[in-house]
Structure 1
């Protein structure tokens, strides 16, 4: 599913990633943990094609992202990757269902088809009655569930999440974490999650520990 080989990245004289090799299987929920400055978010951004590595390769679903032109890279990102951020990043002027439909609209999917898919996702999230509400009318947990639905709209190969539960209270954190595993179990969805949340990290199939730009160790869940 995902093959990362020899990834390095520097910002000026500071080398943030020093040679990362990592394989992630389809349907796997993987967390990336480590102290601030370890390179977690940089690695996630390179995997998400939002930044380029200085050297190495990132292959997702058999596609070498480093060989794509800028236009093809944008198309690849839209169709193969879903993103969930700490602060949901919903557009305030649009309703929940309109926010969810945005990636599908960008992909050129017909409005009727995109809306049907968005309604299906809202139902799965337990948010059908919130479809026409704007972000300022939603709770923090509801906003993040809408953001997850938006990430899923184009049936991506992998969802990349950067501190997805970082802004939530304990109840909503627990519900969001449960949702990730429901999506994996029902749809075979692959997740790569950067997190400081130790509870979430212990739940994932595998935890990648980064330190000083290198993978220090990998830890499988106890039930693996």
Structure 2
């Protein structure tokens, strides 16, 4: 599902990634861990096509993303990748339902089909009763579940999560962690999760340890 070969990335004179080789299988839930400054978020952004490496190769779902133009990358990202962030990044002026629908409308999905898919996700995530509430009216756990639904709306092959439980209390954190496995079972996605949470890392199928821009063997 995801393969990288000798990925490098520098910011100015600082080399953040020094040759990353990875292979992540379809349906795997993989955690990426390591100390601050190890390059975890930079790697996740490259896997998610939000940034380009200085060198090396990235293939996602069989596509060499280096071959895609900026417009093609945007379309590929919208249709094949879902993102979950630590602070959910919901638009405050929109309801939960409207936030979930945004990527579907960007993809050109018809309103009826998008609404049907959003309602399916709301039911699965036990959020139907909160569909018309704005983010300020939702709990932290509810906001993150809305963000999960938004990530899933276009049936992406891969979900990329950056510290997804970092802002949650212990109860909501445990529920979110279990949710990832339920989603994999129901929808079959591949998950790549950057985390400092040792409990989450231990739950995943495999843990990739990053240190000083390299994968520890």
TM-score, normalized by length of structure 1? Answer: 0.96
For 2:44, the equivalent position in structure 1 comes to 44
Shift of 1:188: 1.2
Matched, 1:22 2:22: yes
Shift of 1:180: 0.2
For 1:191, the equivalent position in structure 2 comes to 191
For 2:57, the equivalent position in structure 1 comes to 57
For 2:171, the equivalent position in structure 1 comes to 171
For 2:181, the equivalent position in structure 1 comes to 181
For 1:147, the equivalent position in structure 2 comes to 147
Whole-angstrom CA distance in 2 between matches of 1:212 and 1:152: 32
Q: Extract unaligned runs of 5+ from structure 2.
A: none
For 1:99, the equivalent position in structure 2 comes to 99
Shift of 1:185: 1.3
Whole-angstrom CA distance in 1 between matches of 2:157 and 2:170: 29
3-state DSSP class of the match of 1:3?
strand
3-state DSSP class of the match of 2:83?
strand
Whole-angstrom CA distance in 1 between matches of 2:20 and 2:199: 25
Whole-angstrom CA distance in 1 between matches of 2:173 and 2:121: 19
Whole-angstrom CA distance in 2 between matches of 1:125 and 1:8: 38
3-state DSSP class of the match of 1:9?
strand
3-state DSSP class of the match of 2:78?
helix
Whole-angstrom CA distance in 2 between matches of 1:190 and 1:98: 25
3-state DSSP class of the match of 1:144?
helix
Whole-angstrom CA distance in 1 between matches of 2:189 and 2:62: 17
3-state DSSP class of the match of 2:66?
helix
Q: Extract unaligned runs of 5+ from structure 1.
A: 218-224
For 1:112, the equivalent position in structure 2 comes to 112
Superposition CA RMSD, Å: 0.5
TM-score, normalized by length of structure 2? Answer: 0.99
Deviates more, 1:184-193 or 1:16-25: 184-193
For 1:209, the equivalent position in structure 2 comes to 209
Shift of 1:189: 1.2
CA deviation digits over 1:129-152, x for unaligned, max 9? Answer: 001000001000000000000000
Count of residue correspondences: 217
Whole-angstrom CA distance in 2 between matches of 1:81 and 1:185: 18
